[in-house]
């Protein structure tokens, strides 16, 4: 593990997920901190103008809801917490909308649950929505859907949610803004010999041991959740920075390559991680056969698979399932995530995308399998 290092690895990051915790958003629980949120929105607007795509994962709904309801003590009943979240989401979304609009940016509220990302169809739906928002120049503001989840299905913390969103959209980097400067080898308030960790490998077992382990009291909602989030984000090739949220221009300086906070470096390339997951999928729910022209575009030109190039559909599969793609001789040449269920695929087989709405009753993706979700067979 490296305690000190030189330049940062975020200089080339173009798609960034930024997570801010409740203590920062609500100024230690006293209601939404308008000045702080305005400052982060200013930085995000500048990043967007520089060509970056930014997604904000923001805590704070329950704390804001408590303030609006006049509650001084955090409730223990799950339904009261859900009610507070429902009230607080109004203020949270309004605040981000107002502050981003002041800098000429639109915002969108996206509420997610664990089930949304565990289910492949809902996973693809969420991914498509977020990527469309980014393409439109809109900043998605994401929070866990605390109004409907319970203890069994909660992400448990927005550090984990930030990592899952980074996986979802193939982010280059996850930035976790917290009330600490970063990661230390021990609690600096108790151990004067604690050293600041400038850089380490995401997923290094020493990090978890240093933070007390996943089951420790120190780890509950603390630094251990951030270390585990970085490990999860690294699975899709995203590096993570843990930094103080009130550091002046923290996002802009990180994007410029300045070393701020703790950098936890992903050891896997972004594209390689996603493709490997698809390639290793053992349970294929079906297959499509393509003509020679489509095979050439897939194999030689790196294109997506369009339904017009398909000649037949086999099996019973749903949107989001991994399917095989076979050439005219029946040999598997690729596999990927299906954008359409098998019944729909049969309707649009050999058809141009202009006819999808008439055939299906709705218009969605023009591709059967997008190139980002496709891996060629060796």
What is the mean predicted confidence (pLDDT) over 189-206?
A: 88
The CATH architecture one would assign to domain 281-376 is Roll (2.30)
Domain 15-270 has CATH 3.40.1160.10: yes
User: pLDDT above 90 covers what percent of the chain?
Assistant: 59
Could you give the dihedral angle defined by the CA atoms of residues 156, 174, 104 and 29, in that order, rounded to the nearest 10 degrees?
Answer: 40
Question: What pLDDT does 216 receive?
Answer: 34
> Which pTM value belongs to this model?
0.83
User: Residue 319: what pLDDT?
Assistant: 93
Highest mean pLDDT among 1-10, 111-120, 346-355: 346-355
Average pLDDT over residues 165-188: 90
What confidence score (pLDDT) does residue 341 get? Answer: 96
pLDDT band of residue 214 (cuts 50, 70, 90) is very low
Q: For residues 341-345, give the mean pLDDT.
A: 97
Determine whether 51 is exposed, middle or buried from the number of CB atoms within 10 Å of its CB (0-12, 13-18, 19+).
Answer: exposed
- Average per-residue pLDDT for the chain: 87
Distance in angstroms (rounded) separating the CA atoms of residues 65 and 81: 9
On the question of a common fold for 15-270 and 281-376, the answer reads no
Mean pLDDT of 245-274: 87
Q: Where are the domains of the chain?
A: 15-270, 281-376
pLDDT confidence of residue 282: 62
Question: What is residue 260's predicted lDDT score, i.e. its pLDDT?
Answer: 94
Residues in the chain: 378
- What is residue 5's predicted lDDT score, i.e. its pLDDT? 45
pLDDT at position 251 is: 96
Closest CA to 18 of 104, 113, 96: 96
Residue 228 to residues 80, 156, 215: CA-CA distances in angstroms? Answer: 29, 12, 12
More confident residue, 25 or 118: 25
- Identify the pLDDT of residue 271: 63
Q: Is the pLDDT of residue 151 over 70?
A: no
Give, in order, the Cα–Cα distances in Å from 295 to each of 290, 303, 376: 6, 10, 11
CA distances from 261 to 85, 182, 227, 241, 253 (A): 30, 5, 13, 7, 11
**pLDDT (0 to 100) of residue 40:** 97
**Highest averaged pLDDT of the listed ranges 42-46, 76-80, 230-234, 280-284:** 42-46
Inform me whether the pLDDT recorded for 2 exceeds 70: no
Q: Give me the pLDDT at residue 217, please.
A: 33
Give the pLDDT confidence score for residue 305 in this predicted structure: 98
Average pLDDT over residues 64-86: 89
Task: State whether residue 19 is helix, strand or coil.
Answer: strand
pLDDT tens sequence across 278-316: 776 667 889 999 999 999 999 999 999 999 999 999 999
Reply yes or no on whether the pLDDT at 4 is more than 70. no
Confidence of residue 1 (pLDDT cuts 50, 70, 90): low
């Amino acid at each position: 593990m490296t305690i000190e290092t030189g330049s940062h690895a975020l200089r080339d990051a173009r798609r960034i997920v930024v997570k801010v915790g409740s203590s920062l958003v609500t100024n230690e629980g006293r209601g939404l901190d308008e000045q702080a949120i305005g400052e982060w929105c200013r930085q995000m607007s500048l990043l967007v103008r520089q060509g970056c795509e930014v997604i904000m994962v923001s805590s704070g709904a329950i704390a804001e809801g408590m303030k609006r309801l006049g509650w001084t003590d955090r409730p223990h009943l799950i339904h009261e917490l859900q009610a507070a979240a429902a009230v607080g989401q109004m203020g949270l979304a309004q605040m981000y909308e107002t502050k981003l609009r002041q800098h000429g940016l639109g915002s969108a509220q996206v509420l997610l649950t664990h089930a949304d990302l565990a289910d492949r169809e809902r996973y693809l739906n969420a991914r498509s929505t977020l990527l469309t928002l980014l393409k439109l120049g809109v900043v998605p503001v994401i929070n866990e859907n605390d109004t409907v989840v319970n203890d069994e299905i909660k992400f448990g913390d927005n550090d984990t949610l930030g990592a899952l969103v980074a996986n979802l959209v193939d982010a280059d980097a996850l930035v976790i803004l917290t009330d600490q400067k970063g990661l230390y080898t021990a609690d600096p308030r108790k151990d004067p010999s604690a050293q600041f960790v400038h850089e380490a490998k995401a997923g290094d077992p020493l990090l978890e041991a240093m933070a007390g382990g996943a089951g420790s009291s120190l780890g509950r909602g603390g630094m251990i959740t951030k270390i585990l989030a970085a490990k999860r984000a690294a699975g899709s090739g995203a590096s993570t920075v843990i930094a103080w949220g009130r550091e002046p221009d923290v996002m802009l300086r990180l994007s410029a390559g300045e070393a701020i906070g703790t950098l936890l470096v992903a050891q896997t390339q972004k594209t390689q991680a996603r493709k490997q997951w698809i390639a290793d999928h053992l349970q294929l729910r079906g297959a499509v056969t393509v003509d020679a022209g489509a095979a050439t575009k897939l194999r030689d030109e790196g294109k997506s698979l369009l339904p017009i190039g398909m000649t037949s559909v086999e099996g019973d599969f749903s949107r989001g399932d991994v399917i095989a793609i076979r050439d005219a001789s029946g040999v598997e040449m690729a596999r990927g995530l299906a954008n359409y269920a098998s019944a729909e695929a049969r309707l649009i087989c050999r058809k141009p995308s202009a006819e999808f709405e008439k055939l299906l009753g709705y218009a969605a993706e023009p591709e059967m399998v997008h190139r980002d979700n496709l891996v060629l067979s060796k």
